[in-house]
């Protein structure tokens, strides 16, 4: 049985937190180990493994590693595989563009393309948060506990700047807004805007735009039982199959049809409910 709930952030958190998503999954007897795919998304996150620690690896790695209680994921460009073997509860704090930078105060280039131990980046209070959540049964109460933790960090959060609002516009327009126009919204020259993107996103604006489109396509795929790849590519804003397949290979590491086969073998769908 699986229970999940997507929460809007507290109004005081809404400038840097996009959502808080809580999943509680009790595996059926005999299910054994379940593996799922986690391709790159434009959303930076903090994962809180409340019941059971996940095992994870990049697709180009041979062995899974046990993750810590709290994992911070910034800019990601490589597909991950996650595996669970028992009952699990996971809470995911999804950040607005630049939001994780504003919370941590460190350039996102420093936490590039991996999951980083929350204890090392945020201190032991993040592990204390996971321990408190583990004592709670209600998904609503878990969300409340996480919100209170984040509210306690507000005095350390960097101020919202025009560049942060401009990055949100990139996301709103699904990566189709011209970069020069986004830079104008940020009140920056193109070169200044590119530097701010590297600082806040860990990626160039061009790569970030491509990642937005790819992620939209992948989430449409996860929601479909019988995917029509041409329709998915068009809906995600791709004007031709060549660019769609090129982005899919770069960010997923395989072609769309190969990913379809992977999902049949490894059925966990982690990104269906993600909302940007």
- Predicted confidence at residue 30, as pLDDT, reads 65
**Amino acid 272: pLDDT:** 67
Eight-state DSSP code of residue 158: P
Question: What CATH number should be reported for the domain whose range is 2-156?
Answer: 2.60.120.10
Q: How many residues does the chain have?
A: 276
Instruction: Give the dihedral sign, CA 90/250/77/163.
Output: negative
Please give the pLDDT value at position 270. Answer: 67
Cα–Cα distance measured from residue 118 to residue 44, given in angstroms and rounded to the nearest whole number: 13
Domain ranges of the chain: 2-156, 162-205, 210-269
Which among 138, 137, 140 is positioned nearest to 148, based on CA atoms? 140
Distance (Å, whole) CA 56 – CA 65: 5
* Strands, sheet with 45-49, edge to edge from the N-terminal-most edge strand: 2-7, 17-25, 88-95, 45-49, 70-73, 115-117
Distance from C-alpha of 83 to C-alpha of 234, rounded to nearest angstrom: 32
Domains 2-156 and 210-269 share a fold: no
210-269 folds as Arc Repressor Mutant, subunit A (1.10.10)
Contact of 245 with 256, CB cutoff 8 Å: yes
Q: What is each CA distance from 196 to 35, 79, 101, 105, 109, in whole angstroms? A: 36, 25, 11, 13, 11
d(CA 144, CA 141): 5
At 49 the pLDDT is: 93
Per-10-residue mean pLDDT of the chain, 276 residues long, equals 86 97 77 80 95 87 92 94 82 96 97 95 96 94 98 97 96 92 96 97 96 92 86 90 92 89 71 67
């Amino acid at each position: 049985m699986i229970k999940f709930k997507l929460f809007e952030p507290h109004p005081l958190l809404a400038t840097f937190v996009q959502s808080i998503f809580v999943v509680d999954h009790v595996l059926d007897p005999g299910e054994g180990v379940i593996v799922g795919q986690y391709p790159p998304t434009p959303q930076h996150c903090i994962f809180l493994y409340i019941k059971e620690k996940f095992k994870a690896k990049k697709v180009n790695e041979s062995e899974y590693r046990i993750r810590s209680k709290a994992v911070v994921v910034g800019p990601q460009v490589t597909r991950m595989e996650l595996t669970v073997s028992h009952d699990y509860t996971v809470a995911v704090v999804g950040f607005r563009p630049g939001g994780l930078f504003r919370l941590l105060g460190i350039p996102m280039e420093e936490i590039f393309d991996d999951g980083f131990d929350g204890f090392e980046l945020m201190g032991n209070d993040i592990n204390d948060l996971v321990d408190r959540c583990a004592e709670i049964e209600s998904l609503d109460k878990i969300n409340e506990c996480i919100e209170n933790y984040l509210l306690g960090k507000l005095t350390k959060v960097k101020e919202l700047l025009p560049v942060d609002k401009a990055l949100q516009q990139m996301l709103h327009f699904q990566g189709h807004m011209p970069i020069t126009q986004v830079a104008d919204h940020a009140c920056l020259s193109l070169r200044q805007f590119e530097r701010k993107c590297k600082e806040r996103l860990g990626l160039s604006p061009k790569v970030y735009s491509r990642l937005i489109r790819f992620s939209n396509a992948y989430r449409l795929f996860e929601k479909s039982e019988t995917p029509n790849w041409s329709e998915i590519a068009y809906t995600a804003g791709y004007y031709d199959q060549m660019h769609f397949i090129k982005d899919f290979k770069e960010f997923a590491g395989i072609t769309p049809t190969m990913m379809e086969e992977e999902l049949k073998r490894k059925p966990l769908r982690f990104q269906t409910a993600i909302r940007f």
